[in-house]
Structure 1
């Protein structure tokens, strides 16, 4: 373990460069650049709020805020895991030339997505001010669900990155999976409208608990209960440990398949 920590410290400048490169590539030749990270969730919130408020009339106070908070959580997970999936394949040329701890490429993708998440979080705060929503002190606790979300995404990203080296079809299938996952995450709808059997299915989704915790501290001014925190930590620890294990067991074979 000490070897991994020493390597991480040794290659930290490289990690910073990789994160910077990923952000620059994403917004290359874009006039507004990183500002799109702020505008995208706001524009989608406006469109979806108009559509769903009129079609379904969900009994949710400040539906735009409810919707935007869900978008922030799910969009980060989707972006972090989708980009992490191609982290090894996309850096094949560098991996073949010099020794670099391969997990750094996955971490850089997740961290660059987290920087985008902070911009989206700023958009959420702006909407709260614009809609005159009450800002509770519990907003400070939002760091807990966001940290768990990042670690969960990192764990799943490590699994996807390792498997994609051998099975490139995963890159095409994963977009279908995330579409299904979107509907199994209460981003747009409230849990109260679901039948009992479907509610149980949605609760099995790790993102559901993290999203609920995030909304409680951001919108409802509530502190998440201990049981929800224990479940979220357990789920995150499981996927992170599984991701590290799968990645470690396969990393020596990467050079043969990239």
Structure 2
């Protein structure tokens, strides 16, 4: 384990450069630049809150906050895993020229999405202040579900990046999958409206538990239960282990398919 840690620290400056490059490329030639990391979730929240509040009229107190918190979790997952999926393919030229631990490319994509995640959480807190919602001490516990979310996304990103090198159709299929996943995540609707059979299906989605934990500490002033924490840790650990194993077993073959 110490060898892996030393190797990671050796290439950490490269990771910093990769993350910086990803951010610069994303907002290149944009007038507002990184400010869009704050504006995007706010604008989407306004549109969706107006539409869904009038169409469905869910009985949810402070629906904009409920909606924005769901967007933050799902949008990060979608962005991090989608970008992580093409991390190896997108850096094929560099991989062919010099030796670099290939997992660094996946980590850099997830970390660049993490910067957007922090901006989105900031946007959520600004909305809470603007709407005069109470800011409770439980907000500091948001670091727990957010950390689990990042690790979960990293594990899935490692799996996707490994598979996509050989099967490029995954890029197109995954967008269909994430669309379905969004409806199986309580971003817009409350869990209470679901029939029992669908409730259990939605709870199988690891994002659901993380999202419920995040909402508890951010907007409900409630500490998540030990059972929720244990379940989230187990689900995250499973995907991280699978991701590391799949990536490790396939990384030597990447060069043959790039």
What's the TM-score bracket when you normalise by the shorter of the two chains?
Answer: over 0.9
- Show the 5 A alignment for 1:11-50: 11-50=11-50
Alignment of 1:62-141 (within 5 A): 62-141=62-141
Report the counterpart of residue 165 of structure 1 in structure 2.
165
Deviation at 1:128, TM superposition (A): 0.1
**Structure 1 runs not aligned, ≥5 long:** none
* Aligned length in residues: 258
Structure 2 gap segments, 5+ residues each? none
Which residue number corresponds to residue 179 of structure 2?
A: 179
Q: Distance in 1 between the 2:3 and 2:102 partners?
A: 14
Counterpart for residue 225 of structure 1: 225
1:10 aligns with 2:17: no
1:146 aligns with 2:180: no
Shift of 1:4: 1.4
Three-state SS of the structure 1 residue aligned to 2:94 is helix
Deviation, 1:82, is 0.2
Shift of 1:6: 1.2
- 3-state SS of 2:179 partner: helix
- Match of 1:135, SS state, is coil
Deviations 1:111-162 (A, max 9, x none): 0000010010110000000000011100000000000000000000000000
Question: For the residues of structure 2 that align with 1:74 and 1:9, how far apart are their CA atoms?
Answer: 30
TM-score, scaled relative to structure 2: 0.99
Per-residue CA distance 1:151-188 (angstroms, 9 max, x = gap): 00000000000000000000011000000000000000
**Deviation string, structure 1 residues 45-81 (Cα, Å, up to 9, x no partner):** 1111111111111000000000000000000000000
Aligned partner of residue 34 in structure 1, secondary structure = helix
| CA–CA separation in structure 1 for the residues paired with 2:165 and 2:14 | 22
1:155 maps to 155
- Distance, in Å, in 1 between the alignment partners of 2:192 and 2:2 is 48
Normalised TM-score (structure 1): 0.99
Superposition deviation, residue 3 in structure 1: 2.0
Offset at residue 2 of structure 1 (A): 2.2
Please report how far the alpha carbon of residue 193 of structure 1 lies from its aligned counterpart in structure 2 after TM superposition. 0.5
Give the 4+ runs in structure 1 shifted more than 2 A. none
